[in-house]
Amino acid sequence: MTFETGDIVQPLKGGPAMTVVKVENGVVYCGMMDSGIENAKPFKPEELSLYKEEGDFGVC
């Protein structure tokens, strides 16, 4: 899968949602939703999936 800056992703093994802050040389750098590039951690693309919320979040 190809990721782009700004995508919301999650590790396949589980964990928090993160924002893709850059993609460089086949490495996807992700940061927590409120952190910047200086706190980004590198991931292989095959370790990530696009974040999807599950469940019915309709109008209460």
CB-side exposure of 42: number of CA atoms within 13 Å? 5
pLDDT computed for residue 54 by the predictor: 73
Question: Which residues neighbour 37 within 8 Å (Cβ) at sequence distance 6 or greater?
Answer: 21, 22, 29, 31
Beta carbons of 23 and 4 less than 8 angstroms apart: yes
pLDDT computed for residue 60 by the predictor: 58
pLDDT computed for residue 16 by the predictor: 87
pLDDT computed for residue 48 by the predictor: 97
pLDDT in tens, 1-57: 899 999 999 999 988 899 999 999 999 999 976 655 667 899 999 999 999 877 665
pTM for the model: 0.78
